[in-house]
Amino acid sequence: MKIAKYIFFLLVLLAFALFVFISTQPNSFSISETKTINASKELVFDYTNDLNTWKSWWIPFNENRANIKPDSTIVEYDANLIEKQAVFAKDSIQFAVFDNNFTGNSTLVFNALDSKKSEITWKVSGDISFKMKFISFFKGGMQNILDDILQQSMENINTELQSKFDTFSIVLNGFEEKNGCQYIAIQDSTSVDNFDQKRKELFKKLGQFITNNNLTTNGDPFVIFKSRSKESYKYLSCIPVTTVLDSIAVDSTMTKGKFDSYLALKMTLKGSYSNRNNTWKEGTKAISNSNYKENKEGLYIEVYKKESKQVPANNVTEIYIPVRKPIIANEPEKDSLQPTETTKDSI
């Protein structure tokens, strides 16, 4: 009986000593995890800065993604939340964390490794409850509790970006008549990197003009390229209209015009616009392997059938390269290009 009492008191003393020891441990913590992402710094920043995407990749601290409820500034998970506090020009995003087990701060820092690869450093710091101190003691600290969650979340970012941005397909539809139309347009020139942002801004301005003047559109917005190089584009951002052009009064920043139907090689790109050059190259190669000749005096056009900011892999763009069909006696037929498709999973 005495031995049992001694063992009992010894266990009580050990439990008390452990309680005191854990109580004296720091109430705060600070950890950091880093992950390489196969996408540009700008792309990773824009994706993670949109909190609506978090449900697709983030593993909250209770490891239950099903209960994530994001909006523009807050991500809720069960009764906890992360709130966006500050954003620094594609370099970092700061959050306040209000979790059942700790309160503190979380920061995502973005660094470019090259044009198609970047690095995320995820920093988390805060004050923990005694319950969390007790749990972290037996699990080797907050680093061991959170590192797998942070690493897996960042790996999910990598996977999501691959599937939503990198996958694309190119279809060579064949040689056909590109229907003519009349349009209102704004002429501009810009770097290749800024092209998609600029043309969308011009489409928006044209759309406002159409709405204000009760004009009727007649199809999808498109661009007529005046010149294209590796560094820059000179182009017209156009919206087709059915209204008689003579009745449309445009200001000095706009122009109006029309073109007749012409023969062209039609291609369809499904996926991110970053694959635009691949599509043009496929088209040029197809023309060189046919009886057709590129008509360099004709209209080079991109038509934007579908645009998705959240999932660029779902974008649909039609591209037209103007061609001529020469008449050459006794030359083998090579002028019937059959539709072909090229699918790739990475840029």
- The residue among 329 and 256 whose pLDDT is bigger is 256
Q: Is residue 12 part of a domain?
A: no
Contact 342, 335 (CB under 8 A): no
Residue with tokens 């700790």: 102
Taking 3-state DSSP, the helix, strand and coil percentages for the chain, each rounded to the nearest 5, stand at 35, 40, 30
Banded pLDDT at 346 (limits 50, 70, 90): very low
- pLDDT over 80 (residue 63): no
The number of angstroms, rounded, from the C-alpha of 74 to the middle of its chain's C-alpha atoms is 20
- pLDDT over 50 (residue 21): no
Residue 206 CA to residue 210 CA, distance in Å, equals 6
User: Residue range 232-247: average pLDDT?
Assistant: 93
Residues 310 and 323 in one domain: yes
Identify the pLDDT of residue 11.
56
Banded pLDDT at 347 (limits 50, 70, 90): very low
Identify the pLDDT of residue 92.
95
- The residue among 298 and 339 whose pLDDT is bigger is 298
Domain boundary among 122, 144, 166: 166
- The residue among 98 and 345 whose pLDDT is bigger is 98
Torsions phi, psi for 310 (to 5 deg):
-75, -40
Contact 301, 276 (CB under 8 A): no
User: Can you give the CATH number for the domain in which 86 is found?
Assistant: 3.30.530.20
Residues 221 and 98 in one domain: no
Contact 172, 283 (CB under 8 A): yes
- pLDDT over 50 (residue 138): no
Banded pLDDT at 263 (limits 50, 70, 90): very high
Arithmetic mean of pLDDT over the chain: 83
- The residue among 300 and 340 whose pLDDT is bigger is 300
CB-count exposure of residue 236 (10 Å: 0-12, 13-18, 19+): buried
- The side-by-side arrangement of strands in the sheet containing 68-70 is 28-37, 117-128, 102-114, 92-98, 80-88, 74-77, 68-70
Residues listed for the chain: 347
Residues 115 and 187 in one domain: no
Contact 344, 169 (CB under 8 A): yes
Residue 120 CA to residue 38 CA, distance in Å, equals 11
Residue 90 CA to residue 130 CA, distance in Å, equals 37
User: Can you give the CATH number for the domain in which 336 is found?
Assistant: 3.20.80.10
Residues 189 and 330 in one domain: yes
pLDDT tens digits along 278-320: 899 999 999 999 999 999 999 999 999 999 877 788 899 999 9
Which structure tokens are listed for 192?
Answer: 């290749």
Q: Which residue segment(s) compose the domain that 131 sits in?
A: 22-166
User: Residue range 145-171: average pLDDT?
Assistant: 86
Instruction: Output the pTM of the full model.
Output: 0.65
Residues 117 and 208 in one domain: no
Residue 84 CA to residue 107 CA, distance in Å, equals 10
Residues 193 and 102 in one domain: no
Percent of the chain with pLDDT over 90: 45
Torsions phi, psi for 272 (to 5 deg):
-60, 145
Lowest-confidence pick of 150-154, 166-170, 208-212: 166-170
Q: Is residue 279 part of a domain?
A: yes
**Exposure string (b/e) for 30-54, b if CB count within 10 Å is 16 or more?**
ebebebebbbbbebbbebbeebebb
Lowest-confidence pick of 37-46, 221-230, 284-293, 337-346: 337-346
Domain boundary among 166, 194, 224: 166
Residue 102 CA to residue 29 CA, distance in Å, equals 10
If one counts the domains in the chain, the total is 2
- pLDDT over 60 (residue 333): no
Which structure tokens are listed for 237?
Answer: 């951002």
